[in-house]
A and B are shown apart, each in its own frame.
Chain A
Amino acid sequence: MAEQMKPGSGPLDYGNRLWLKILFGVIFFMLYVPIITLVAFSFNTDRRGIVWRGFTFDNYVKAWNNSSLIEAMINSLMIAFIATLIATVLGAMVALMLWRFRFPFKGAYEAFMGLPIVIPEICMGVALLLFFNETGMMTAVVAMPWPLNLSNIIIAHVAFCFPFVAIVVRSRLVGFNRQLEEASKDLGASEWQTFWKVIVPFMMPGLVAGALLAFTLSLDDFVITFFTSGPETVTFPVKVYSLVRRGVSPEINAASTVLIVITVVATVLAMKLQAPQKSGKG
């Protein structure tokens, strides 16, 4: 294993030192072996999923036919999608406001905005649960048709995702040259045109990175979702948890593998979009 992992020999040639090579190997091993095992065993024929007995796609077919698992997956994707959309817009707006304006208690606001990142998830879960109960939203929302019955979870996810977006976008904006904005106005663009044609393109890498972060956070959130979902709505992490309590089956491996693939593809795509375009000749 360690032989295959060739760390890039950087300017300081750390890759040439044996102990560092071994350290790299061990770290990569620890990080990825569980995931690789999970993926590998999703193709296993053994029902208990502990001993390797042979290769099959059956588990994927079974997972596909397991309607409750699919329902949980669709719920999760739906929540992640909508929550990401809202959190990205909200986070970007907060970042712009903090970057652009001066107002009383700005420092305090900035500090409070970051709170959802540091507050233990369990506290946030309880707080949100109490909030939804007291306002009557819990019972009201659960009775609504899909996907409106996910509203509580979406609201909860937006609440803990948007600070991440705001922080990423804000740090991107720090590097913005204000003369670009002035140049745009000087050339005849209105505030609105300047915003969409100069500021938003500049924020874009931050927006993509922030949205990606929000999407992954939302997709795999367990604690807050567990507290804020009604008895009827189930998301993928919650479903997996309930299934695992009855024993691991290769179906879960298969479904999890699909989730990993979705996330990896999304990440790679986002990074491609974000990368500076190497167009033009030479």
Chain B
Amino acid sequence: MTDPIVSIRGVSKKFPGGVIAVDDVNIDIAPNEFFALLGPSGCGKTTLLRMISGLETPTDGQIIIGGQDMALTPPNKRPTNMVFQSYAVFPHMTVEENVAYGLRVTGVPEDETKRRTAEALEMVKLSHLAKRKPDQMSGGQRQRVALARALVKRPKVLLLDEPLSALDAKLRDDMRMELTRLQETVGITFIIVTHDQDEALSMASRIAVIDKGAVQQIATPSELYEQPATRFVADFIGKVNLIDAKVLSKKAKAITCEAKGLGKLTFDTEKACGDTVAVAVRPEKLKISKAEPKAAGLIKVQGNVRDVAYYGDTSHIVVSIKGGPDLQVNVQNDSRTGGSGVERGQAIWVSWMPDDSLVLTE
């Protein structure tokens, strides 16, 4: 890995009153990455972002940007710029003045300011609205102003706090693509904070999942989905079936366990574990059949269909099994007739390849 542009080392933030918002976080972010901080609301991800920008000071640890410790650098001297959740566009200035603000206050010559402002407005496709005041613009347009205003400063790192949360669904999709495109064109490291897993999965090159102030896992989107490290990550990213299991025996490279409703199972894993583990399997990896599947090596269980939800392209079938939790199975409706062909109350077999499931030890 090349030298990280942002290095967060052992950073903690305790608020007066004893609330620990961020707890010993270590993250290295490479230049040019589109990095997402993902977690439920109140998990400390925004506090972490604000500490990178300098608007909040860590109680412990170091934040290093571009090789320099930022401990004593105030926000106005840091090579970072932020797009705020409320956009924070200055209401008394025109779009042009808003974008030029960061250059004017730092004494950039006026002709250069004009040129760079025009370029930035061009980049976010707002040139035609340069003379407007923010109160005459839509939320999406205001966000573009905030974006241009931050990018015009050519920061090493652009910080985005929930950039899509205030937009409606259609705009959100457009903006998502726009942000990815911008990141590729300008070649600046983006760090985005979001609580929306779809947003993180579809835009980011790497994601840090945060829960209760602590990093749960840092991985690429597909790793995060296919190889979640903890129960929390598996459950937070997408839908997952989690089956509690009791460990019966443990060898160097395999665990044998008694999973609720499934019986004795053996998994290849090198991870250390306690007395209980969880078997995780994504709903789309499960297969259903009326007759008992014959293929060797499958994990299979018989149950009754408790619910069928039709979503057009897919159907979500909930199967209740004896002695275990309900399992959700997502099937593609690839024939035009009959949907999933499954009815409520019907007896059915659920099966999957052992490799498609995962043992979670924590």
| Cβ-defined contact, B105 with A179, below 8 A | no
Contact A188 B88 (CB under 8 A): no
Indicate whether A280 sits within 8 Å of B76 (C-beta atoms), given known contacts A182-B55, A182-B88, A187-B101.
no
CB atoms of A180 and B133 under 8 A apart = no
Chain B residue total in the interface (Cβ 8 A): 31
- A264-279 CB contacts (< 8 Å) to partner B: 276-277, 279
Say yes or no for B92: interface residue by CB 8 A criterion: yes
A276 partner residues in chain B, CB cutoff 8 A: 135
8 Å CB contact of B75 from A177, A185, A202, A281: A185
Task: Fill in one digit per residue for A239-282: 1 if any B CB lies within 8 Å of its CB, else 0.
Answer: 00000000000000000000000000000000000001101110
Which residues from 191 to 215 on chain A have a C-beta closer than 8 Å to any C-beta of chain B? Answer: 193, 197-198, 201-202, 204
* Complex: A177 Cα to B101 Cα, angstroms: 18
Task: Kindly specify which of B78-86, B227-235, B322-330 makes contact with the partner chain.
Answer: B78-86
**A113 nearest CB across to chain B (Å):** 28
CB pair B88–A179 under 8 Å, yes or no, is: yes
**Closest beta carbon of chain B to A175's beta carbon, Å:** 11
Interface assignment of B138: CB less than 8 Å from any CB of chain A: no
Q: Using Cβ atoms and an 8 Å threshold, which residues of chain A touch B146? A: 183
Residues A277 and B133 in contact, CB atoms below 8 Å apart: yes
Separation in Å of the B65 CB from the closest CB of chain A?
14
Could you tell me if A186 and B55 are in contact, using CB atoms closer than 8 angstroms?
Answer: yes
| Majority SS at the chain B contact face | loop
A186 touches B86 (CB 8 A): no
A9 in contact (CB, < 8 A) = no
**Interface residue count for A (Cβ, 8 Å)?**
23
Residue A233, interface by CB 8 Å: no
Minimum Cβ distance to chain A for residue B290 (Å):
58
Whether A187 lies near B81 (C-beta < 8 A) is yes
Contact B86–A187 (Cβ < 8 Å): no
Write out the residue numbers on chain B whose beta carbons fall within 8 Å of the beta carbon of A279. Answer: 94, 131, 133
| A45 lies within 8 A of chain B by Cβ | no
Residues of A that sit less than 8 Å from B by CB = 177, 179-180, 182-190, 193, 197-198, 201-202, 204, 276-277, 279-281
